[in-house]
Amino acid sequence: MQKLSSCRAAILSAALAVLLGTSDAQAGGWPLEPGTGEVIVSFTRLSADERFESDGTKRWTSHYTKLEVSPYAEYGLTNWLTLIGEAAWSRQETNFFGTEYADEDFTRLKAGGRISLGDWQETRFSFQPIATVHLASTSDDPSATKSGDVDLELGLVLARSDTVWNMQMFSVQEIAWNYRDRGRPAEARADVTLGVKPWAGTMLLLKSLNTTTLGSTEVGDSYTANKLAVSCVQALPEEFAPGVSLEVGMEQTIAGQNTVDGTTWRLGLWYRF
């Protein structure tokens, strides 16, 4: 069962990659102009009452919810360097047979940058190192990350843009290796994003998000998560809110091992300056 689910997820991701490779808008894969920036404040709600076992099958578990607020920012420092930062606060609740457990805390800080390496075959290549300091543990983390743990992710970003059927389109593909300290296993990440601007002021996003461990956790488990996400970003009228857009979307786990089967609803506020 697990092999079948993983196979389906791999086929879906590959299909997206082929589609995105033929489309070509600008988004997170390109450097920002020096002195310009973008801030995205996301409000998300994750809900789960099942989890994927090691063989890929699902089983019932305690009802778990996580509300998260995460401001994310990019700033163009030079023509080839865009600075990246993120913070997050979350509130978690677990209902175990009628007994509720809840906690809230600031959970992480991220800092890094995207270094433009140049263009080849109409594709922009960038190197993206990101460091994360964890400030608290979260129940949806299969590697049991604790306060004080540090991650260092090294990623390669490929971005293309073009006009298809009179619509602006872009694709961003990210492949990354994530070092995790204190005995936690390293991770590999492969994400693909397709963006379409059907008309001025509107952007539709489709994402394939895939993470897998490159080792075993303290209890001897490995884990994977394959997710799909869709969202719509709508610019607000310039005369009322210049540079401001509103995002509405959702994210769904479609396959995995030793990870929660969750649905996440997203509301985002974007500001470009």
pLDDT tens, position by position, 74-89: 999 999 999 999 999 9
Say how far apart CA 124 and CA 217 lie, in whole Å. 36
Say how far apart CA 227 and CA 212 lie, in whole Å. 12
Distances (CA, A) of 17 to 172, 185, 231: 9, 27, 18
CB 83 within 8 A of CB 77: yes
What is residue 142's predicted lDDT score, i.e. its pLDDT?
79
Domain count, the chain: 1
What is residue 174's predicted lDDT score, i.e. its pLDDT?
98
* Token pair of 69 as six digits: 């607020």
Q: Which amino acid is at 272?
A: R
Does pLDDT of 144 surpass 60? Answer: yes
Range of 63's domain?
2-272
Say how far apart CA 91 and CA 98 lie, in whole Å. 18
pTM given for the model: 0.87
Which of 228, 234, 230 minimizes the C-alpha distance to 269? 234
More confidently predicted of 63 and 143:
63
Say how far apart CA 203 and CA 59 lie, in whole Å. 36
What is residue 27's predicted lDDT score, i.e. its pLDDT?
52
